[in-house]
Every structure is written in C-alpha cells, then in structure tokens.
C-alpha cells in the first residue's frame, strides 16, 4: 500500500521559505501572488494491506517523526 503525507505549517506560523518564493516570483514578473505557503510531501511504500492499520501506522509516524505537530499540520492519503 502507498501512503502520501502532506505536511504544512499551521496558519499563523511564519513561513520564511514561502515568503522568499513569493518575493522571487514577483522579481521574475509574476505579479499578483499575494501569499505562498511551502510544505512537504512524504511518500511511503507500506507492506500493510489493511487500510485502517496502515492509516493508524502512518498517523503514528507523523505524530512521532514526520511532522512537528506544534507548528505543522498533516494529512494522510492512502492508495
């Protein structure tokens, strides 16, 4: 089973990388970009075939390592 985890900074947390990208886009002539939030995507290949067990395992991974839950939120997709 494959899992995809999307990790983003929570609303209200400053995103200096996103701001740098927004500024660079403006410098390249892409006007009208008012905000950029940068995150990460983590893809996992899992041996687990039970969807409920896989979701629980990936959620545990996020809570313990993949996301800093103090400042980041995450979502999990299974396929």
**Farthest CA pair distance, the chain:** 48
Pick from 2, 75, 65, 78: nearest CA to 39 = 75
Pick from 39, 38, 37, 41: nearest CA to 5 = 41
Tell me what pLDDT residue 32 has.
95
One digit per residue, pLDDT tens: the chain, 79 residues? 999 999 999 999 999 999 999 999 999 999 999 999 999 999 999 999 999 999 999 999 999 999 999 999 999 999 9
Tell me what pLDDT residue 11 has.
95
Phi-psi region at 78: left, alpha or beta (left = phi > 0; alpha = psi -120 to 50)? beta
Tell me what pLDDT residue 57 has.
98
Catalogue all structural domains in the chain, each as residue range(s) with its CATH number.
Answer: 2-78 (3.30.1280.10)
- Report the distance separating Cα 32 and Cα 20, nearest Å: 15
Tell me what pLDDT residue 39 has.
97
pTM, rounded to two decimals: 0.88
């Amino acid at each position: 089973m494959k899992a995809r985890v999307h990790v983003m900074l929570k609303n209200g947390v400053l995103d200096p990388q996103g701001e740098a990208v927004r500024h660079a886009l403006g410098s390249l002539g892409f006007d009208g970009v008012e905000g950029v939030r940068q995150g990460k995507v983590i893809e996992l290949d899992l041996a687990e075939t039970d969807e409920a067990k896989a979701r629980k395992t990936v959620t545990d991974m996020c809570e313990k390592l993949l996301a800093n839950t103090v400042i980041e939120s995450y979502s999990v997709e299974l396929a």
